[in-house]
Amino acid sequence: MTLLSPALGETLPDSPHATVVCLPTLADVESYERKEPRVWERLRAGYPRFVRNALVARAAAEAARRLGRAGELFPLVSEAAARRLAAHVGAELASLDAVGDWWLAVTPAGDAALRLAKMVQHTGTLISSRQAEAWLAGAAPADAADALATTRATLAPYLAGVAPADLLVAAAGMNAVDAGLAAVESVQRPRGRTAWVQLGWLYVDSTRLFEKARDARHHFVADVRDLRSVERLLATGTVAGVLTEIPNNPQLETADLHVLRALCDRYGAKLLLDPSSVGLASVDVLPFADVVVSSLTKYAGSEGDVMAGVLAVHPDRPDAAALLAAARARLEPLHPLDLRVLAAQIGRMEDVTRRLSANAAELARRLAAHPAVARVRTADQGPTADAYRRVRRPGAGAGALLTLELRGDLRAVYDRLAVGKGPSFGLRYTLAAPFLWLAHFEEVTTEQGRAGLRAAGLDPDLLRVSVGLEPVEEIWAAFVAALPE
């Protein structure tokens, strides 16, 4: 069997609820980023915070027709989210209507609507495709109490010490991040602490939440090893919290959590940790955190057809009760229909993570010896490998992700590579993505932007690979065929 690159607009899996849409050439990626009809007319699904699923768009249009509403349509998970986000970006709500178990917000077209669309993306507050499908079919409200209990019971060993009822399952990983940031601000702002430290390059939406905060300073420390700079910032007494990923994406570097925890304790800052890149089955980060936030779209939902996240507060840290209450009030719970799908897959999380990690380690070993590859980054190799190993679970690996820096032209390699090509990771399918072209398109297409990326330690043309569960010989053959000799 030979791996193939699915055609433009095809999804992985072949489902109306798929979270991966395929962009098989770099020209397709460019058209996708520029919103060109050549690509967007082919999209019916995709990563749901970036691509409005066809079922969601249809539900919004049908609700607007029934209600007699016109304008920019936002089918959102709650009234609170609609009002909060509209106020945040200064968007006028022309109408806001309850529609079954969701809300339709309508705004006039224009810049404010565009800003609102971005905040909906950053916070994961659009309704899910299953929720839209059920409403269109006139289905009765679903109950998923058993699925929630199963999901929490499966997660509990990876967040040991947190009561299962206090494991908050969110509508998306970014919704958990948003709730975690808001929870910290709720307890720190009355103390005069409004600044944030972003340690290391973070996933784009986490960074945008900082950048778009209206009255909070955002300090970016690019190198996760630069804890002296972190300490200088913490010593000002103005920092509410530090957010870092364990490891970060796409550099796959890990901060020294023992030192970072001690610094946060010394200066009264909260520590938020996001282990999404390698998954909860790979690393044990709760002992160092005030709040853990993680995507469950990856590794836990390994079929690639459900979005979800989780938030957990360390119960023995100062302000734990207040943090949990604030997070619970802010977070948007996963819809029951999606909970059922997650519950059916999450029991395989540990096995899937272990197998993905093993395949990734073998592919990384081979690629590192290939003359066309300048560098392979993994979480357990490189300058922060020791920091990663200190939080890695016994017997665990380094997750599915590899970051490749190529000696030749990214376009030629990407276009020839016969694997799934699109955003997301930690799924049973091998996926490749020109990550910065997707997440930071404006930067990679200008010389000034490319220089800024290099200054942050990033190759603008890096290729991020999420290794899947296919036989490793098949994955390797696809790369051998794509890479120049």
356 and 324 share one domain: no
372 and 318 share one domain: no
pLDDT, tens only, 21-36: 999 999 999 999 999 9
Strand-pair partners of 11:
21
What is the arithmetic mean of pLDDT over 99-112? Answer: 97
Strand-pair partners of 271:
242
Domain final residue pick, 99, 127, 155: 127
356 and 452 share one domain: yes
Q: What is the structure's pLDDT at 2?
A: 61
pLDDT, tens only, 157-208: 999 999 999 999 999 999 999 999 999 999 999 999 999 999 999 988 999 9
Contact criterion met (CB below 8 Å) for 93 and 76: no
HEC assignment per residue over 191-207 = HCCCEEEEECCCCHHHH
The Cβ-side half-sphere exposure at 452, using a 13 Å CA radius, reads 12
109 and 257 share one domain: no
Q: Is residue 37 part of a domain?
A: no
Domain final residue pick, 346, 365, 396: 346
Number of domains in the chain: 3
Contact criterion met (CB below 8 Å) for 310 and 328: no
270 and 378 share one domain: no
Q: Is residue 305 part of a domain?
A: yes
Q: Is residue 140 part of a domain?
A: no
Secondary structure E strands in 296-372: 309-313
Provide the 10 A C-beta neighbour count for residue 365: 12
272 and 304 share one domain: yes
Q: Is residue 296 part of a domain?
A: yes
Q: Is residue 103 part of a domain?
A: yes
Contact criterion met (CB below 8 Å) for 421 and 22: yes
Quote the crossing angle between the two packed helices 79-89 and 111-123, to the nearest 10°. Answer: 130
Q: Say which DSSP state 283 is in.
A: B
Secondary structure E strands in 246-359: 270-274, 291-295, 309-313
What is the arithmetic mean of pLDDT over 414-435? Answer: 96
Q: Is residue 113 part of a domain?
A: yes
Domain final residue pick, 346, 380, 406: 346
Provide the 10 A C-beta neighbour count for residue 78: 16
Tell me which residue range forms the domain holding 353. 11-24+349-482
Q: What is the structure's pLDDT at 213?
A: 83
Q: What is the CATH number for 258?
A: 3.40.640.10
440 and 338 share one domain: no
Q: How sure is the predictor about 4, in pLDDT bands with cuts at 50, 70 and 90?
A: confident
Whole-number percent of the chain with pLDDT over 90: 95
Q: What is the structure's pLDDT at 1?
A: 46
Q: What is the CATH number for 17?
A: 3.90.1150.10
What are the structure tokens assigned to 14, written together? 């072949």
What is the arithmetic mean of pLDDT over 210-214? Answer: 84
408 and 306 share one domain: no
pTM: 0.97
Contact criterion met (CB below 8 Å) for 5 and 421: yes
pLDDT, tens only, 120-168: 999 999 999 999 999 999 999 889 999 999 999 999 999 999 999 999 9
Cα–Cα distance for residue pair 223/403, rounded to 1 Å: 17
pLDDT of 395 > 60? The answer is: yes
475 and 357 share one domain: yes
327 and 392 share one domain: no
Contact criterion met (CB below 8 Å) for 417 and 432: yes
Cβ neighbors of 398 (< 8 A, separation 6 or more) are 252, 278, 282, 357, 360, 361, 378, 379, 380, 381, 388, 392
Q: Is residue 280 part of a domain?
A: yes
304 and 285 share one domain: yes
92 and 223 share one domain: no
Mean pLDDT value across the chain:
96
Q: Is residue 90 part of a domain?
A: yes
Q: For residue 220, which phi and psi values (nearest 5 degrees)? A: -105, 115
